[in-house]
Amino acid sequence: MLKKILAAIVILVAAFAGYVALQPDELHIERQATISAAPPAVFKQVNDLHKWNDWSPWAKLDPDAKVGFAGPAAGKDAVFTWSGNEKIGEGRMTIVEARPDELVDIKVDFTKPFEATNKSTFALKPEGSQTVVTWSMDAKQGFIGKAMCIILNGKKTLSEEMDKGLANLKSVAEGTAPPAP
């Protein structure tokens, strides 16, 4: 009986490992929102990292996080660092490209609870008097990252946080108070 149980466990672990190995090495998440504000108003919120705590969903997860800034006040080479609780960890964001009223590309380096580098992009497209904001995140995933993404349903969790962030960005850019966390 014990041999059958061990064999079943080995088969399940091997099946899970095979499933993990077959997952894509690239993770891509993309969310979109329409904001009733012109691109310059939205761009100002995303391009100036000092403004991120006003709308970032992760700022709400640890209001006591230590944050810092380096480089220019906004735009290319602006840097935002954070160190917080277990929900947000520790890391650094650097704007690598900023095209006024159009695009902000950010390199995100996580150091805790794990090391990883991701890319976060905000693309802005005017649509009448509104702005369509597309927020995408891209990351390379190793075996452990793929397994954690499956176990913790990481893609769904990140999508939900990005939706909250876009809702907060919408409120701030439109001049209303951000929704409660």
CATH number at residue 41: 3.30.530.20
Domain contains 34:
yes
**Residue 78: Cβ-neighbour burial (10 angstroms; 0-12, 13-18, 19+):** buried
| β partners of residue 69 | 80
Q: Report d(CA 96, CA 115) in Å as an integer.
A: 19
Asked whether residue 137 is domain-assigned, the answer is yes
CA distances from 64 to 41, 59, 61, 73, 156 (A): 27, 9, 9, 22, 26
User: Does residue 125 fall inside a structural domain?
Assistant: yes
Query: What is the rounded distance in angstroms from the CA atom of residue 4 to the CA atom of residue 114?
Result: 37
High-pLDDT (> 70) share of the chain, %: 86
Give residue 168's pLDDT: 94
State percent of the chain over pLDDT 90: 54
When pLDDT is averaged across residues 156-168 and rounded to a whole number, the result is: 89
In a domain, 12, yes or no: no
pLDDT number for residue 126: 94
- Phi, psi values for residue 68, rounded to 5°: -145, 165
**Band (147; pLDDT cuts 50, 70, 90):** low
pLDDT level of residue 178 (50, 70, 90 thresholds): very low
Question: Is this structure's pTM higher than 0.85?
Answer: no
Dihedral over Cα of 180, 47, 78, 139: its sign: positive
Tokens 């990481």, residue located: 154
State which residues form the domain around 142: 27-173
Q: Which residue has the higher pLDDT, 145 or 50?
A: 50
Whether 142 is in a domain gets the answer yes
Element spanning 75, H or E: none
Asked if residue 3 belongs to a domain, the reply is no
Does the residue 10 lie in any domain?
no
pLDDT exceeds 50 at position 104: yes
Give pLDDT tens digits for 111-143. 988 788 999 999 999 999 899 999 999 988 766
Q: Rounded mean pLDDT of 11-24? A: 72
The total domain count for the chain is: 1
92 Cβ contact list (under 8 Å, min separation 6): 79, 80, 81, 82, 108, 109, 111
